[in-house]
Structure 1
């Protein structure tokens, strides 16, 4: 009898130890998978939150491709479902083992319990791994959809800028900077969402400042003013030009006189503001009007040609602008010759290389 009890006790201990070891290994693995699932779910929510911010943007000055938007919306919905399922799987319990029983009848019962729990924990691990796979796929879809939308908006910025040529320089510069950030985005997170929102805000400012500029140009001379601005921009490709119009500029504007004044910045990108008197538009497209505009553009385009002339004196600066207008073929003395005299030939030769 005692021998039988001893055999039963030994068998019970061995069976329990084997079941306990297998369960402990499975529990450790499953707890690791559970932690990974929780991290993946948190990461996925960061991605979906960024995508949701993009989709819910209040300002959309740059139009959003409906197909890209629909694809992203669907991906976000699927990702939210995947994260919810992962949460449910992660809520599954992984029991910890208590003290080992002593007697064989207790050991046999405990062994059976841990074997059942082993099956449950292995099933939980399978469910968690499936949830991770689903979340990985969902994250990839949301990321791809979000980055495609952000990048597309950034890539559309140059055409958008071209369609709003009368916007103020500072708004255009902000648009370019925001577009650069958008197209360089490689991770869909709060930074990506902020880049997209900043781009749309900058685009809205482009529209707003253009509307303000167009309102300032309104009136009977609006058509001529816009033609002159387009003409000036055609002479200085790559230079951001902004225009202001007044009855009198630089002391001229009445009795047939014309006035112009240009302020430029050696920044990146090069930019300038050209002020013109209303009389320039009134006399447009006379050669003298074109020549005066060319002189002012000669100042503006110098941002592309720094170091090609002596900019330390006003006399030299005006000679350069006059020489540049001459090098472009504008020979009417409103090109600066009447006001500042004929420039030296070496200035004209140098200006011919500034385009």
Structure 2
């Protein structure tokens, strides 16, 4: 191959590369990096930060909502407990009142008081039942805490709603409690009024059955005192009321027995004499026995009397009279003898007015008392025991 002119020829033959090929290589410009990678990384970092922030916010919000929910639930539980306790208390009071109604024989109680108590018990029963149903409400529980922020946000909203519902429930349950308390007060007041009517009636009942034995009358008084002293309806209320009614029944039975023993042609005179004696000694509980012979007297126109009395409360005595006292009634001598015996009986009210240490002074006192009451027939004790000291007669005026 012929070399072009001006081109050096190698002595070894071959060929040379063109200058533009074999010459110095041109400097290569630096390759530019694309900005998309950095932007992607930055976006990734921002996204991760945003997610972390959302997760943190969601966690904190959920924790606050859960704490608020638990507080609301605790308050609701307290309200449920209070309502149930109030319902139970009303039910207990109503049950006592209902037992009073069931055990009432109608002997002593006022029908109007009984009707009022029945109405109060009925109303209380309805309120207590409704309250107990409301207190049986099932309170919600918080579900396990979610993991992801989108779940946390949803559960937070639900907890907030549940807390609001619980607050509303608390308001509703608490609003019922005062009504239950008022109903309990109504039942108790009606119950105490019912009991008071029976206790008060015992006095008139006693007066209507004066022929009953003293101890049965005393038992009636004691039972009435127990009932009238009640300040609340409790475990003792019903037994006390039943005891009062039993005492009243025993008074009736006792009187019937006494009247049966006094029955016969002298019954009318006997009862008149007993009423006469009671009129002379107001406040002294008197019981009477009748026999053919008393204190060795009763035959051939004679009359006999014997009195036993007790210094302790209440003022009481038992007067025994011979049938002849009734047979001669209402002669002055019968009245004088009865007055003498009442003088013994009424001494329970005036024991400090005379010397009770000897039988003679005791009899002189009874005679003086009869004289002081205006009974001057010798059957007043003068015939049997002699005339009493004027000091006894003077003292007897203060014993009435």
Between the aligned partners of 2:211 and 2:102, the Cα distance in structure 1 is 29
Corresponding residue of 1:320: 365
1:97 shift after superposition? 4.1
Q: How does 1:1-355 map to 2 (within 5 A)?
A: 1-62=47-108, 64-97=109-142, 100-355=145-400
TM-score (norm 2): 0.84
Q: What do you get for the CA RMSD once the two structures are aligned? A: 1.7
TM-score (norm 1): 0.94
> Which structure would you say has the larger Rg?
2
Between the aligned partners of 2:379 and 2:158, the Cα distance in structure 1 is 102
- 1:190 match: secondary structure: coil
Between the aligned partners of 1:312 and 1:97, the Cα distance in structure 2 is 89
Task: Identify the range of structure 1 (76-85 vs 100-109) with the bigger mean alpha-carbon deviation.
Answer: 100-109
1:134 shift after superposition? 2.6
**Given that residues 83 and 135 in structure 2 are in contact (C-alpha distance below 8 angstroms), is that contact kept between their aligned partners in structure 1?**
yes
1:71 shift after superposition? 1.7
**Given that residues 240 and 270 in structure 1 are in contact (C-alpha distance below 8 angstroms), is that contact kept between their aligned partners in structure 2?**
yes
- 2:125 match: secondary structure: helix
Corresponding residue of 2:33: none
* Structure 1 residue ranges (4+ consecutive) displaced by more than 3 angstroms after TM superposition: 95-102
5+ residue gaps, structure 1, are none
Tell me the alpha carbon deviations over residues 239-275 of structure 1, each in whole angstroms, 9 at most, x when there is no partner.
0000011111111111111111111011221000000
**Given that residues 89 and 127 in structure 1 are in contact (C-alpha distance below 8 angstroms), is that contact kept between their aligned partners in structure 2?**
no
Task: Identify the range of structure 1 (15-24 vs 213-222) with the bigger mean alpha-carbon deviation.
Answer: 15-24
Task: Identify the range of structure 1 (45-54 vs 1-10) with the bigger mean alpha-carbon deviation.
Answer: 1-10
1:56 shift after superposition? 0.7
1:137 shift after superposition? 2.1
Between the aligned partners of 1:98 and 1:344, the Cα distance in structure 2 is 102
**Given that residues 113 and 197 in structure 2 are in contact (C-alpha distance below 8 angstroms), is that contact kept between their aligned partners in structure 1?**
no
Tell me the alpha carbon deviations over residues 24-47 of structure 1, each in whole angstroms, 9 at most, x when there is no partner.
221121111222122212211221
Tell me: higher relative CO, structure 1 or 2? Use CA pairs within 8 A at least 6 residues apart. Answer: 1
1:169 shift after superposition? 1.1
**Given that residues 50 and 192 in structure 1 are in contact (C-alpha distance below 8 angstroms), is that contact kept between their aligned partners in structure 2?**
yes
Between the aligned partners of 2:106 and 2:218, the Cα distance in structure 1 is 18
Between the aligned partners of 2:366 and 2:187, the Cα distance in structure 1 is 54
Count of aligned pairs between the two proteins = 354
Between the aligned partners of 2:273 and 2:343, the Cα distance in structure 1 is 15
**Given that residues 85 and 131 in structure 1 are in contact (C-alpha distance below 8 angstroms), is that contact kept between their aligned partners in structure 2?**
no
Between the aligned partners of 1:227 and 1:262, the Cα distance in structure 2 is 18
